Amino acid sequence: MNGAAIAASGLTMRFDGFTAVDKVDLHIEKGELFGLLGPNGAGKSTIIKMLTTMIRPTDGSALVWGHDIGRERDAVRSSIGVVFQDPSVDSQLTGRENLDFHGRMYGMDARMRQKRIEDVLDLVDLTDKADVLLEDYSGGMQRRLEIARGLMHHPDVLFLDEPTLGLDAQTRRYIWEYIQNMNRSEGVTVVITTHYMEEADYLCDRVAIIDRGRIVALDSPKNLKDLIGADIVVLEVGDGHLDDLAGVLSDFDWVISAEASENAVALSVDHGESRIPEIVLTASRAGVKIRSVSMHEPTLEDVFLEFTGKKMRDAETGGGGKLMAVQSRMRARRH
């Protein structure tokens, strides 16, 4: 079959007056490991829910593996595997029983189910826990079982909605490995949402940065970071006139940009390591007490800042509801 794994145009979702997803166009190639990166409440999960036929879009359309998400819902469902953000296992069944149920729902016969269950359990290292009730699994094990289940019926596209949310660093590493493994060994197209920068950076071939229901940037992590180009030097300071310092520093022609926040100044500088002495000197001349100096190469966090004018953490619109989201947005705009 020709064409893209996913082709969406003008995908829009409105909940009584609030636009969660705003005219999103998306083109994901077959075999790609594609990331949707953005703060909580940016609309990532809503995009996934529309693409997986769990909710119907207010406007726009999308093809998943060539099937229309509105008119060919069952064909879409047959082509995809989904790992939801929240748990979706039956805790009163064992791992094997959960997988067996899944296989039957996707029309797999007994022999195929048995073989696939062994395969996917092996892939996520849960073979020895196959006959344990899910209620006795740890959070990380449950997540791995869900990933195994999403893969079990050989989907063409696998959706993973925040697969490592709330997991410890080590488990997260393991899950990254499983995801990469199956993308490579099973050739499955993977669409993953995350609000962890390093996750998108480490895993994805291409990343779409989402803010307020829109795609603000889309490219490979490397290209996105190259857009920033220079190194980031951050001065953490005790007291003093930060705005003045930022002003003075940005007068140097090697400083690309300087931004002052509450107790830090962030500079975008080429060849940062050779400029640090001069920066420190300038700061002490300006009477600013420096607590620490750090330098890093650009991360996706810096890309997000560049495109949205705010840090990802500040852009989050947690469980507080839509009004809070709107308010924090207005505040962000004013600054």
Partner 1 sequence: MARIDPYAIYSLWLREMIRFFRLKSRVVGSLAPPFFFLAILGMGFRSTMVVPEGVDYIDFLAPGIIGMTLLFSATVGGLSMLWDREFGFLREIMVAPVSRLSIVLGRTAGGVTTAVMQGVIILVPGILMGLKITGPGGFLLSLVFMVLIATTFNSLGLAFASRMKDMSGFSLIMNFMVFPVFLLSGALFPVENLPPWLRILSYLDPLTYGVDGLRASLVGVSAFPLVLDLAVLAAGCAGSLALGAYLFEISDVE
Three-state secondary structure along 197-242?
HHHHHHHCCEEEEEECCEEEEEECHHHHHHHHCCEEEEEEECCCCH
Site for partner 1 contains 106 (CB under 8 A): yes
Stretch that binds partner 1, among 86-94, 197-205, 282-290, 303-311 (CB under 8 A): 86-94
Q: Return the residue of 65, 84, 137, 178 that touches partner 1, per CB under 8 A.
A: 84
Of 90 and 243, CB closest to partner 1? 90
Q: Return the residue of 3, 10, 91, 168 that touches partner 1, per CB under 8 A.
A: 91
For residue 95, the one-letter residue type is G
Of 159 and 178, CB closest to partner 1? 159
Q: Return the residue of 1, 16, 74, 185 that touches partner 1, per CB under 8 A.
A: 74
Query: Which residues within the stretch 144-183 sit at the binding site for partner 1 (CB under 8 A)?
Result: 149
Site for partner 1 contains 262 (CB under 8 A): no
Quickly count: other Cβ atoms within 10 Å of residue 138's Cβ.
12
Q: Return the residue of 10, 104, 127, 284 that touches partner 1, per CB under 8 A.
A: 104
- Residue 188: CB partners within 8 Å, gap ≥ 6? 31, 81, 151, 154, 155, 156, 157, 158, 182
- Shortest Å, Cβ 101 to partner 1: 5
Of 148 and 249, CB closest to partner 1? 148
Strands 80-83 and 6-15, by their bridges, are unpaired
Separation CA 132–CA 93 (nearest Å): 8
Strands 189-194 and 157-161, by their bridges, are parallel
CB contact burial 160-180 (16+ within 10 A = b; e otherwise): bbbbbbebeeebbebbbebbe
Site for partner 1 contains 87 (CB under 8 A): yes
Of 38 and 150, CB closest to partner 1? 150
**CB-based contact 240:288 (threshold 8 Å):** yes
Site for partner 1 contains 56 (CB under 8 A): yes
Binding mask 15-54 for partner 1 (x = CB under 8 A): ----------------------------------x--xxx
- Shortest Å, Cβ 330 to partner 1: 27
Separation CA 334–CA 313 (nearest Å): 17
Site for partner 1 contains 89 (CB under 8 A): yes
Residues that bind partner 1 (CB under 8 A): 49, 52-56, 74-75, 77-78, 80, 82, 84, 86-93, 97, 101-102, 104-107, 149
